[in-house]
């Protein structure tokens, strides 16, 4: 526990460094440059090193399928979740949440902690699981975004065959997918990491060492907790986390997972923050509507609300994942997970009732204050 606590303190201090650098890096382009370095250099290198260290077999196909099942589980649950929080499904906020909530961004919110606490083998399996999530976020959610756009703007016809093709190409061209395919090809031919030329293996080793500090500093730089709809966003994210843990318990039970490391892996990967890919799809739709002079109140998605969800989701998921992994094997038991899942669901309704209670107290105290003034 002392070692885990020490690791957590180091990770938190790296986030604090990011917070301290915010006054130095105010330009959005610079921040995007750091994110690009993470997603195109540090993360692919770490995943490549991790994958090259495990034995390849047909059972790995299970991981992306399970993640894909989770994506669809949240997506199909969204109308009921929105109804619980009295958000209209056919509103801009409802459509925005429907796009963001089922997606995952494990590269920014869970991979560094999986690597630190569970090791390279667990990270390799998590990277394989993310393949299903990427397919869902890049392709399926794109079709969802276009369908919602057409439904909301019936007067405009949209031809998107070229865009679909470009999205499929981007899935293949993404650096992390390239190195994963490369690693799988090497392993299939019996080539291990030690068989690679020393120059190549050293490049991957050194660049992979950048991942954890860069991601944590990026989190400190990027987090923006704005006022406004924080209460609604926090409630929805708490509810999402609760049903996510219950989904993980179901998977653990179905597959009979008993290894503490694998149980924790099954829990933390789905708890990752919302992905930036759906936001890219929504931004493309917003640009179309802006060019068509569609009024802001009638647009398909609420981009400002989407930014708030993403900004709040990243630190929220990071805290959850760090807390679970720091606790060692405490969360490696289904009973604990069930209690935690239901507890998060209950907590998701607390901000709403707390706000109501505060308003009621204010309303009740106003007449008394007026009497005193009189």
The torsion angles phi and psi of 114, rounded to 5 degrees, stand at -60, -45
pLDDT tens column, 251-276: 999 999 999 999 999 999 999 999 87
- In this structure, the number of other CB atoms found within 10 A of the CB of residue 53 comes to 17
- DSSP for 121-186, written as a single string: HHHHHHHHHHHHHHHIIIIIHHHHHHHHHHHH-TTS----HHHHHHHHHHHHHSHHHHHHHHHHHH
Compute the average pLDDT of residues 328-349.
93
Residue that wins the pLDDT comparison between 236 and 159: 236
Query: Which residues fall within 8 angstroms of residue 257, CB to CB, at 6 or more apart?
Result: 251, 263, 266
pLDDT tens column, 58-102: 667 888 999 999 999 999 999 999 999 989 998 999 999 999 999
pLDDT tens column, 179-189: 878 887 887 88
pLDDT of residue 104: 93
Q: How confident is the model at residue 1 (pLDDT cuts 50, 70, 90)?
A: very low
Helix (H, G, I), strand (E, B) or coil at 229: coil
pLDDT of residue 304: 80
Helices 120-135 and 260-268: crossing angle in degrees, nearest 10, is 30
Q: What is the DSSP letter of 349?
A: T
Helix (H, G, I), strand (E, B) or coil at 192: coil
Identify the architecture of domain 2-373 in CATH: Up-down Bundle (1.20)
Q: What is the DSSP letter of 276?
A: S
Compute the average pLDDT of residues 322-348.
92
pLDDT of residue 242: 96
Is the CB of residue 145 less than 8 Å from the CB of residue 289?
no
The percentage of the chain sitting over the pLDDT mark of 70, rounded to a whole number, equals 82
Q: How confident is the model at residue 355 (pLDDT cuts 50, 70, 90)?
A: low
């Amino acid at each position: 526990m002392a070692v885990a606590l020490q690791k957590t303190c180091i990770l938190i201090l790296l986030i604090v460094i990011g917070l301290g650098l915010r006054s130095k890096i105010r330009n959005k382009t610079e921040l995007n440059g750091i994110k690009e370095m993470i997603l195109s250099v540090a993360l692919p290198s770490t995943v490549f090193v991790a994958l090259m260290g495990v034995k390849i077999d047909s059972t790995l196909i299970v991981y992306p399928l399970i993640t894909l099942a989770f994506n669809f589980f949240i997506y199909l649950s969204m109308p009921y979740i929105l109804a619980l929080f009295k958000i209209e499904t056919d509103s801009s906020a409802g459509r925005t949440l429907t796009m963001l909530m089922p997606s995952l961004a494990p590269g920014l919110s869970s991979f560094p902690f999986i690597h630190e606490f569970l090791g390279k083998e667990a990270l390799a399996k998590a990277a394989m699981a993310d393949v299903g999530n990427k397919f869902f976020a890049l392709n399926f959610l794109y079709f969802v975004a276009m369908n919602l756009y057409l439904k909301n703007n019936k007067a405009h016809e949209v031809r998107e065959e070229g865009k679909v093709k470009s999205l499929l190409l981007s899935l293949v061209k993404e650096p992390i997918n390239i190195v994963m395919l490369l690693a799988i090809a090497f392993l299939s031919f019996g080539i291990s990491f030690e068989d690679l030329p020393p120059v190549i293996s050293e490049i991957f080793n050194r660049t992979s060492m950048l991942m954890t500090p860069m991601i944590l500093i990026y989190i400190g730089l990027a987090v923006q907790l704005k006022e406004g709809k924080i209460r609604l966003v926090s409630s929805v994210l708490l509810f999402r986390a609760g049903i996510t843990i219950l989904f993980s318990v179901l998977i653990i039970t179905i597959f009979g997972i008993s290894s503490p490391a694998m149980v924790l892996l099954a829990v933390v990967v789905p708890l990752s923050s919302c992905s930036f890919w759906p936001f890219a799809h929504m931004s493309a739709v917003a640009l179309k509507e802006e060019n068509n002079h569609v009024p802001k109140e009638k647009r398909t998605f609420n981009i400002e609300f989407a930014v708030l969800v993403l900004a709040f989701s990243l630190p929220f998921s990071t805290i959850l994942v760090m807390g679970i992994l720091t606790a060692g094997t405490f969360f490696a038991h289904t009973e604990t997970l069930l209690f935690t899942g239901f507890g998060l669901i209950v907590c998701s309704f607390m901000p709403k009732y707390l706000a109501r209670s505060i308003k009621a107290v204010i309303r009740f105290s106003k007449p008394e204050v007026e009497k005193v003034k009189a």
